[in-house]
Structure formats: structure tokens, C-alpha cells
């Protein structure tokens, strides 16, 4: 939960424009490297980012991109302590270089965004590691730079992603989690409708943050708006461009399962299994269990798969709520089998994992709570 509201405050804008992109070699290295990164071609991405650091040793871009690669290649970072330390060092270097540029010219939008991005990643890392005091401090620092971007959204297409996510989450997240409302006075107000509009613009007009715009627009429609069918076109565009990206595959499998296309989801479940990541393998078990429960009407097989999914680990950002889907399935099956003790047990545990619209509605429907 904390990781998402940290994201709300900092937004991680991967925005590279201005002076750096006047160098055609730098622009090519960034665009080519990002394509490799999103395609999970980490060796090739690393080569591009290394070349960028060599050519621009005093610019933060190469260091930030290298950190982004680590975050995806070693997901989740909390399971890789040594890599996590290197990740923090790269971000601290990126921030120091960004601040050096910003101190020379406080009107430098590029410097301001690299300050925001490096601090944002640091905030997210600390939140993932339950260091919330550090995370909030980083987030507050990031916000002071991000306000510059909020004022320039209409002038620069790459701002649409950051401003869109901010505008939406600034309203929606405190609605779902009232406990953080007292912390929000520090931050400019949002607008959900405008946030969605900005993200839509980001999917059409942005270059460097197009993928982020597509992914989080789908994420919001699914998790917060409770309309997974609306998320499908954005997911499809991502999966066509980067069919081996585990997070895009996970999102596709989830959306197809939630909209009842279990046969279509199976292709992506197979990919999740082949990833060898226990986080994604557990999610595949959940989606297959849903198929057994709803399509095949095989409650024994569904229960077995739901239980098997719980033997895999979960992480906060992308698989926690999917674990909640397994508990919802187990509650439904226990109720149908007349096992009230099991239903009560699963009901108590499920509360820990459910926070998004449709899951909460389903929990209320089947438990009356």
C-alpha cells in the first residue's frame, strides 16, 4: 500500500529532453536502450546505458537508466540486498548530478525532472523496504521539483504521464485509504477526470513515457475504476510491442481473467510460469484457479490451485491484490461446500490483501462485511 502512495507523490517521470536530446547519439542510446529494457533484453540495454554514461559522465540520465534496469532485472529489489545497495548508489549519483545542473539554472526543466525521478525511485525503494520515514522525506523533496512539471504539462508531451498519475492518485488514493488524508495537505489538489485525460494524451503524444502511460492507465482502469475491460486495449498495445516483459504479461493475464477470457489468459499464464519468478508463477496459479471455478465449474481443482498459489511469495505493488483474489475464491468455495469455519478463516486473512474496487465489492458481496 505505502509503495503506491509514494508513487502518487513522486511519479518517476522517465523524461529525457532538452539539451541531452540535441545530441543524436545520446537520443539514439536512450531510445534504443529503453526498447531493450522494456523487452527484458537487459544485456543490450546495459550496453546502451553504459555508453551514455561514458559520453555524458556528468549528466544524470545514464545513472538513472542503469538504476531503472536494475529495478526490472532484479525484481523485486528487496530480495537482492547487494544489488539494492548498488541501485541506491546509482540514484544518489543521479540526484547529485541533477542538483548540480539545477543549482546553475533553476529554470532548467530537464534538471528538475531528473531531481524528481531520482528522488522518486529512492522513495519507492525505501517504501518497499518498510523505511517509511525515509520514503516520506524523499517524497517531499521530490514534490518540490515536481511542481515545476505540473505547471508545464500542456507545453511538453512528456509531462502528461507524471501529471496524469499525480492528478488521479492525489484524489483516489486517500479516498480508498483515509488514514493518509492528514498527510496530504502538503500536496496540490488533484482531479481524477483530468488525470485520466492526461494519461490518455500521454499514450498518444509522449515518446519516452508512452509505455508508462499505457501501463498505468490500464492499471487505474482495472484496480481503481473497476473496469478491466477498458484496460484491455492499452494492455494489448504494450504486449504487442514487448511480448516478453513480465509485468506486461502479468497485467494481460489478469485483465483477460477478470473479463472471463480464460482461454486467452492461458497463453500468458504459461509465460508467467516460464519466467521462473515465484511472484509471477503464483499469480498464474490464481488465474488458472479462476478458470476452474468459473468456466469449468470444478471446485476441487479450483481450491487446489488457489491453495497452491498461496505457497508462492507476493510483493506489494503488483501481486498482493492477486493473492487477495485467491482468498476470495477460497471463501466462495468454502461457502458452497458449507464449511463455515474455513470461510471465516479465509475471510479474516483476505482483508490483509484487498484494497482495490472490484475486489472490495466482491468481498462485501460474499461476506456481507
Cα–Cα distance between 49 and 61 in angstroms, integer? Answer: 8
Collect all residues with Cβ–Cβ distance below 8 Å to 19 and sequence separation of at least 6: 110
Give which of 143, 152, 145, 126 is closest to 186, Cα–Cα: 143
Q: Which three cell numbers stand for residue 194?
A: 483530468
Cα–Cα distance between 280 and 323 in angstroms, integer? Answer: 11
| Cα 362-368-369 angle, rounded to 5 deg | 90
Residue 133: the pLDDT is 75
| pTM summary value | 0.90
Residue 184: the pLDDT is 72
Domains of the chain: 2-236 (1.25.40), 245-367 (1.25.40)
For the chain, where are the alpha helices, taking DSSP H only? 2-10, 24-38, 42-55, 61-73, 81-104, 109-128, 132-150, 159-176, 192-205, 210-219, 228-241, 246-258, 262-274, 278-290, 299-309, 320-336, 340-350, 357-367
Mean pLDDT of each 10-residue bin along the chain, 369 residues long: 42 48 78 93 96 92 94 92 96 96 86 85 83 79 79 72 84 77 77 93 85 93 96 98 97 98 98 96 98 98 98 92 97 97 97 93 95
pLDDT, one tens digit per residue, over 171-200 is 887 787 677 677 777 778 889 999 999 999
Taking CA atoms, 273 is separated from 8, 286, 308, in Å, by 31, 12, 13
Residue 361: the pLDDT is 95
pLDDT, one tens digit per residue, over 38-61 is 999 999 999 999 999 999 999 999
Q: Which three cell numbers stand for residue 350?
A: 483476505
Residue 20: the pLDDT is 67
pLDDT, one tens digit per residue, over 338-353 is 999 999 999 999 999 9
Amino acid at each position: 500500500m505505502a509503495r503506491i502512495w509514494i508513487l502518487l507523490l513522486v511519479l518517476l517521470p522517465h523524461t529525457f529532453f532538452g539539451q541531452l536530446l540535441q545530441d543524436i547519439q545520446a537520443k539514439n542510446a536512450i531510445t534504443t536502450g529503453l526498447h531493450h529494457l522494456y523487452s527484458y533484453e537487459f544485456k543490450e540495454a546495459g550496453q546502451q546505458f553504459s555508453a551514455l554514461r561514458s559520453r555524458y559522465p556528468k549528466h544524470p540520465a545514464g545513472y538513472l537508466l542503469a538504476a531503472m534496469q536494475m529495478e526490472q532485472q532484479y525484481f523485486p529489489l528487496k530480495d537482492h540486498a547487494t544489488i539494492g545497495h548498488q541501485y541506491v548508489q546509482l540514484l544518489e549519483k543521479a540526484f547529485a548530478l541533477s542538483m548540480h545542473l539545477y543549482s546553475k539554472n533553476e529554470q532548467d526543466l530537464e534538471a528538475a525532472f531528473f531531481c524528481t525521478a531520482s528522488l522518486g525511485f529512492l522513495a519507492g525503494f525505501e517504501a518497499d523496504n518498510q523505511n517509511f520515514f525515509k520514503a516520506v522525506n524523499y517524497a517531499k523533496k521530490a514534490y518540490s521539483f515536481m511542481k515545476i512539471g505540473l505547471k508545464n504539462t500542456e507545453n511538453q508531451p512528456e509531462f502528461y504521464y507524471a501529471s496524469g498519475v499525480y492528478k488521479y492518485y492525489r484524489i483516489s488514493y486517500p479516498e480508498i485509504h483515509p488514514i493518509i488524508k492528514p498527510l496530504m495537505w502538503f500536496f496540490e489538489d488533484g482531479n481524477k477526470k483530468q488525470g485520466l485525460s492526461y494519461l490518455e494524451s500521454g499514450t498518444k503524444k509522449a515518446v519516452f513515457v508512452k509505455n508508462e502511460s499505457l501501463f498505468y492507465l490500464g492499471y487505474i482502469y482495472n484496480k481503481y475504476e473497476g473496469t478491466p475491460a477498458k484496460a484491455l486495449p492499452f494492455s494489448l498495445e504494450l504486449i504487442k510491442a514487448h511480448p516478453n516483459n513480465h509485468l506486461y504479461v502479468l497485467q494481460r493475464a489478469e485483465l483477460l481473467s477478470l473479463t472471463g477470457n480464460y482461454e486467452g489468459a492461458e497463453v500468458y499464464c504459461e509465460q508467467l510460469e516460464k519466467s521462473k519468478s515465484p511472484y509471477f508463477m503464483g499469480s498464474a496459479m490464481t488465474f488458472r484457479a479462476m478458470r476452474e471455478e468459473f468456466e469449468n465449474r470444478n471446485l476441487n481443482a479450483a481450491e487446489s490451485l488457489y491453495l497452491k498459489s498461496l505457497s508462492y511469495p507476493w510483493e506489494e505493488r503488483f501481486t498482493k491484490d492477486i493473492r487477495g483474489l485467491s482468498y476470495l475464491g477460497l471463501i466462495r468455495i468454502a461457502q458452497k461446500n458449507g464449511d463455515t469455519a474455513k470461510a471465516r478463516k479465509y475471510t479474516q486473512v483476505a482483508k490483509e490483501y484487498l484494497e482495490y474496487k472490484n475486489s472490495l465489492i466482491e468481498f462485501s458481496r460474499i461476506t456481507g462485511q
